[in-house]
Amino acid sequence: MKQLQFYKYATWFMVLLNILMITFFFLTRPPHRAFPPREAGDQPFKNRAIDILKLDEDQQSTFLNSVQSHGEQMRATNDQQRDLLKPYFHQLIDPKQMVDADSTLHKIQQLELNKIESTYQHFQEIKLILTPDQQAGFEAFMTQALKMILLDTEKNPPPPKDF
């Protein structure tokens, strides 16, 4: 009988302990956020670029127009590429659908070349609106812009392998 009594108390103790742990986790959890908190470096790049280049109001207007025009051009080119790529890859699913691979790849390469040339021209336009005093900030601007364009992020090394 004493053994049965011990198991009863142990069971109630474990149930109580579980309830306390669950309560603790619910009371101490961080608040839910739809988006992570923004840091100072998280502002849109065009705003950081204006700060880096120290643009005046007229330059800001020209810069923002150039950014908008370049963005629209990139979206249109990306849409064209997407329209070419869908049937190209869809032929793997449906072999009846024949696509001239050489022609499609040539068109995609041409669009990619247009994107590169357009981006280069966009940066030239930005450089032209700068005064000689602002030219010093252009290098920092280009460094930041290229990190974004080329997705040049510093990656952590992989964790060591367990043996």
Please report, for residues 68, 73, 76, 93, the alpha-carbon distance to residue 112 in angstroms, rounded to integers and kept in the order given.
Answer: 19, 12, 12, 25
- Asked if residue 75 has pLDDT above 70, the reply is yes
What is the per-residue pLDDT for 151?
80
Which span out of 25-39, 106-120, 136-150 was modeled with the highest average pLDDT?
Answer: 106-120
- Asked if residue 35 has pLDDT above 90, the reply is no
Q: Which two tokens stand for residue 78?
A: 């990306």
The DSSP annotation for 116-155 comes to HHHHHHHHHHHHHT--TTTHHHHHHHHHHHHHHHTT--PP
Question: In terms of residue numbers, what domain contains 104?
Answer: 44-149
Structural domains in the chain (count): 1
- Asked if residue 121 has pLDDT above 90, the reply is yes
Q: Is residue 119 part of a domain?
A: yes
Residue 151, by phi and psi: left (phi above 0), alpha (psi -120 to 50) or beta? left
What is the per-residue pLDDT for 162?
66
Q: Is residue 38 part of a domain?
A: no
Q: Is residue 132 part of a domain?
A: yes
Kindly report the CATH number assigned to the domain that includes residue 70: 1.20.120.1490
| pTM of the predicted model as reported, rounded to 2 decimal places | 0.64
